[in-house]
A and B are shown apart, each in its own frame.
Chain A
Amino acid sequence: MKLRLAGLWLLLIIFQSQASDQWVFDGRSAVTGAAMDRVYHHLDGSGRKHIAVTEQSVAAVWEDNRSQTPQIYVALKLFSSDSFTDALQVSNGGEAYEPSIDALSNNRFALAFEQDASVFARILSAGVLGEPTRLSQQAASHVSITSFNDQVFASWRERDNGRWFVKVAALRIEDSNRLIVESVQSVEAKGLETALLFPVIAVNAAGLCVAWEDRRAGHTRLLVSHSADMSKPFNTPQSLNEFFSDRNEYDKGNGVTRVSLASFGEDEILAAWMDKRRGGNGYGIFAALGADAGENFGPNEKAHGEEGDRQPHYNPATAGNRAGDFVIAWDDFRRSNSDIWISAYNSDLEWSQDHAPSVASGSGEQSHPSIALDDQGNLHLLWIERSQQDSPSRLWYSLGRPQKP
C-alpha cells in the first residue's frame, strides 16, 4: 500500500504544474431558459455527476418540474456551437429524480436516473435517446453512472425485504444506443437494516470504487469498497473518513455526508465530501486521494481554504481526467449569498486557496455545482442560479481554461 501511495505522490509531482493551474472562465452559457414561475431545477444526484464531456460536446442532465412533476432533462452543446440545444426529456414516468451522466465514445453519453422508485439507464447518441434499461429489481434510488473505455457501470441503493443494499451493475452497449445489463452484484451480500445513502461509483484501469453514506455504526460514516473488476466481489468496506468521537460520552463520531468520486490519472481516485469535524462551524469540505482505483486511500485532507474556515460548505463535486488533473467545487455563503468555489492542488501539493469564478458568484444565489475536466485540463462548470433561495431557478454553464504560469 505504501508503495502505491508513493506512486500516487510521484504522479502528482509529475502533473503538479497542470493540476495547480487556476482556470480563466469564459462567459456563461444558458443551459435552460430564463427562470420561469414555479419551475425549479435540481442538481442533487449521487456524487453530483450532472455534466460530462466528449471530444465534440458537453452535456448537462438535471431534474426540474416544468411539466408540473419532477422529470429528468438533458441538453447538449457542441463545442462548435454557442448555445445548448433545447432540453430533451429523459424520464417518462410519474416522478423522476437525481440523474447522473458520463461520456462515451462517438459523442455519446450514458445517463442514469431514478423514476418511480426504480433506477434506469439510457444512452444519448446524436441527440437521440436510446431505450431506457431498468437496473433495479426492488425499490431503488440514488443512482450513479460511470464508464471506462465504453464499459459502463452504475451503482445505486436498493431495499429488498427490509434490508438495504448497494448494487453495482456492469452494462454493455448494444446497437450503439442501448444498454444491456451484463451483471449485477451487491457490494455486501447480506445487506443492512440501517440505511445506506447516495452511493457513487468511479472506474479506471485499476478497477471499480464505490463509496456511500453508511449508518450501521450508529452514526454516519463514509465507507468505500473496491473491486478489480465485476468478475470479482467487492472488498470488505473500509472507512473513508477519519472520525472524531471524544467530545462527550454520547459522541460516536462527527457527521459526514454526500461523498463524490472522480477518477484521475491512470488508476487514481479523488473523493470529496461534507464533514462536520470542525464542530460548530458546520460542514467543511474534506478529501482523500486513493491509489489502485480506491483500494488504498491516503489521509483525509481539508480542501477548502482558511478564508471560509468558519463557514459551512455544501454540495461538493469532483472531477478528474486521464492527464492527472483533479479539482473540487462546492458552494457556500461566506459572502452572505451562495457562490461557487473551486480548489485544486497548488505547486506545493496542497489544496489551493479557494477560487470563486466570477461567472458563478456575486449577486443572487449560485449553488449546486457539477464539474467535468477534459483531457486538455479545461474545467466545465454547471450550476444553479436563483435570485433568492426560494426563487425560480435556471442552469448556467461556463468553460474554464487552464491558466498557464
Chain B
Amino acid sequence: MLHSLLFRLPLACVVLLSLSVGSLLAAPPEGYRFLSLTEATQLASSENKPMLLYFGRYGCSTCRKMHAEVFNDASLNAKLNDAFVLAYVDTESGDRISLANGERITEMQFASRSRIIGTPTFIFFSPEQKPLFKKAGFQTVAQMNQYGDYILEKHYQSMPLQEFMAGQ
C-alpha cells in the first residue's frame, strides 16, 4: 500500500531550516516564483493562499517537457504565479528540511518517505494547507488550469476532483 507522508503530515509542519553548503541547483521552470519549501510554507500560511508543491529532479525529461510545453503557457503562468504559492523540492537533493516533529531530513529523504516514485509529481494544497490531491507524470496545460480552478473556485469543498474534471 503506497501512501504519502504528505497526506498524513500537514505541510504547515514542514519548515526548511538549513542548507548545508549553499543551495543546490534545482530546476523549476523559468518565469515562475518557485520558492524553497520553507519560504513557500511560511508564505502560504501567512497569506492564506493555496500552494502547489512540485517534486522534480535535476535532468528529469518529463519535467523538461512540461517546462517547454506546459509551463510556457501565459495563462497558466499568470494563474499559478498570482494565485498560488509555489514550492519546489529536488528529489535527489541533500538540502535539509525540518518537520514539525523536530526531525531534519534531506529533500531526497523527504521525497522517498512521501513515496514520490516519479517526477514530476505535483501536490496541490488548499489555502488551509490541507493536501488535496497528487498528480504524477506529464500534465497538460488544460489539466493544470483545471486543477487550479478546482482549488481557486473552491470546488474541492463540494466534490472530488474526478467529478469536477469530468464536468469540464
Q: Is B134 an interface residue (CB 8 A)?
A: no
**Bound CA span A280–B117, Å:** 7
- Do A280 and B61 form a contact, CB below 8 Å, given A40-B103, A142-B94? no
In B82-119, which residues have CB < 8 Å from any A CB?
Answer: 92, 94, 96, 99, 101-106, 108-109, 112-113, 115, 117-119
The answer to whether B18 and A248 touch across the interface, beta carbons within 8 angstroms, is: no
Q: Is B166 an interface residue (CB 8 A)?
A: no
**Bound CA span A140–B64, Å:** 30
- Do A250 and B61 form a contact, CB below 8 Å, given A114-B20, A139-B22? yes
- Do A282 and B103 form a contact, CB below 8 Å, given A97-B96, A390-B5? no
Binds A, one of B40-48, B52-60, B122-130: B52-60
**Bound CA span A37–B101, Å:** 9
**Bound CA span A282–B60, Å:** 12
**Bound CA span A139–B65, Å:** 34
The answer to whether A117 and B20 touch across the interface, beta carbons within 8 angstroms, is: yes
**Bound CA span A156–B115, Å:** 29
- A215 CB contact (under 8 Å) in B1, B25, B117: B25
The answer to whether A282 and B58 touch across the interface, beta carbons within 8 angstroms, is: no
A97 / chain B contacts, CB cutoff of 8 Å: 20, 96
The answer to whether A250 and B65 touch across the interface, beta carbons within 8 angstroms, is: yes
Name which of A42, A95, A213, A390 has the most chain B CB atoms within 10 A of its CB: A390
Q: Is A251 an interface residue (CB 8 A)?
A: yes
The answer to whether A252 and B102 touch across the interface, beta carbons within 8 angstroms, is: no
Q: Is A195 an interface residue (CB 8 A)?
A: yes
In A61-84, which residues have CB < 8 Å from any B CB?
Answer: 65, 70
- Do A44 and B92 form a contact, CB below 8 Å, given A219-B59, A282-B118? no
The answer to whether B1 and A250 touch across the interface, beta carbons within 8 angstroms, is: no
Residue of A nearest to B117 (CB): A282
- Do A390 and B8 form a contact, CB below 8 Å, given A159-B21, A250-B64, A253-B59? yes
B25 / chain A contacts, CB cutoff of 8 Å: 194-195, 215
**Interface size counted on chain A using CB atoms at 8 A:** 47
The answer to whether B59 and A220 touch across the interface, beta carbons within 8 angstroms, is: yes
Q: Is A312 an interface residue (CB 8 A)?
A: yes
The answer to whether A159 and B22 touch across the interface, beta carbons within 8 angstroms, is: yes
Q: Is A218 an interface residue (CB 8 A)?
A: yes
The answer to whether B5 and A197 touch across the interface, beta carbons within 8 angstroms, is: no
B68 / chain A contacts, CB cutoff of 8 Å: 250
B2 / chain A contacts, CB cutoff of 8 Å: 333
The answer to whether A44 and B109 touch across the interface, beta carbons within 8 angstroms, is: yes
- Do A141 and B109 form a contact, CB below 8 Å, given A70-B104, A215-B58, A248-B61? no
Q: Is A122 an interface residue (CB 8 A)?
A: no
Q: Is A389 an interface residue (CB 8 A)?
A: yes
**Bound CA span A247–B118, Å:** 15
Q: Is B9 an interface residue (CB 8 A)?
A: yes
Q: Is A324 an interface residue (CB 8 A)?
A: no
A384 to chain B, nearest CB (A): 11
The answer to whether A38 and B94 touch across the interface, beta carbons within 8 angstroms, is: no
The answer to whether A65 and B104 touch across the interface, beta carbons within 8 angstroms, is: yes
B40 to chain A, nearest CB (A): 20
The answer to whether A247 and B104 touch across the interface, beta carbons within 8 angstroms, is: no
B146 to chain A, nearest CB (A): 23
A140 / chain B contacts, CB cutoff of 8 Å: 21
- B61 CB contact (under 8 Å) in A44, A217, A247, A281: A247
Q: Is B24 an interface residue (CB 8 A)?
A: yes
B64 / chain A contacts, CB cutoff of 8 Å: 250-251
The answer to whether B102 and A314 touch across the interface, beta carbons within 8 angstroms, is: no
Q: Is A255 an interface residue (CB 8 A)?
A: yes
Q: Is A146 an interface residue (CB 8 A)?
A: no
- A65 CB contact (under 8 Å) in B65, B102, B106, B118: B102
The answer to whether B94 and A252 touch across the interface, beta carbons within 8 angstroms, is: no
B120 to chain A, nearest CB (A): 12
- A198 CB contact (under 8 Å) in B59, B94, B105, B119: B94
**Bound CA span A83–B76, Å:** 60
Chain B interface residues toward A at CB < 8 A:
1-2, 5, 8-9, 18, 20-22, 24-25, 57-62, 64-65, 68, 92, 94, 96, 99, 101-106, 108-109, 112-113, 115, 117-119
Given contacts A40-B102, A255-B59, A312-B117, 18 further A-B pairs with CB under 8 A are A38-B103, A97-B96, A194-B25, A197-B92, A197-B94, A198-B94, A219-B59, A220-B59, A220-B92, A250-B62, A250-B64, A253-B59, A255-B92, A280-B118, A333-B2, A336-B1, A390-B101, A390-B103
Q: List 7 A-B contacts (CB under 8 A).
A: A141-B20, A217-B59, A255-B92, A255-B119, A257-B108, A280-B117, A390-B8
